[in-house]
Amino acid sequence: MEQYLPWAEGDGPLMLADAAGQVHLALFESDKGPASTIAFGASGMEFLRWKGHLDACGAEVALSDHDLSWSLYFSDPDGNRHEITTYDYDAVKASLPTEP
């Protein structure tokens, strides 16, 4: 899990993985109080499909570049918060339009 070492310092998450290095749970500590967000992992292609789908639905989506990963943050119609994350960083970066 060498790719996650930069997050091992500071406020990075506690990540639990299987023997193959697949992250199954990431726990974050926060002073902001309780928060309920359910997060899902996705391949780069799945991430881009989700972004396109959410944009087409007119959902309010926040795209975050975490340097090691990308995340989409949004709420469903009932107000439940969701996150979709991919670690296919370079593939997603190459597919996103560059900002002027």
| Domains of the chain, earliest start first | 1-30 (no CATH), 36-100 (3.10.180.10)
- What mean pLDDT comes out for the span 13-38? 67
Cα gap 32→97, rounded to integer Å: 32
Please write the tens of the pLDDT for every residue from 30-86.
666 656 777 888 999 999 999 999 999 999 999 999 999 999 999 988 788 899 999
Higher-pLDDT residue of 50 and 22 is 50
Higher-pLDDT residue of 16 and 81 is 81
Q: What is the pLDDT of residue 35?
A: 66
Cα gap 73→61, rounded to integer Å: 6
Q: Categorize the per-residue pLDDT at 15 as very low, low, confident or very high, splitting at 50, 70 and 90.
A: low
Q: Is the pTM of this model over 0.95?
A: no
Instruction: Output the CA torsion 91→49→75→31 (10° steps).
Output: -20
- What mean pLDDT comes out for the span 13-17? 66
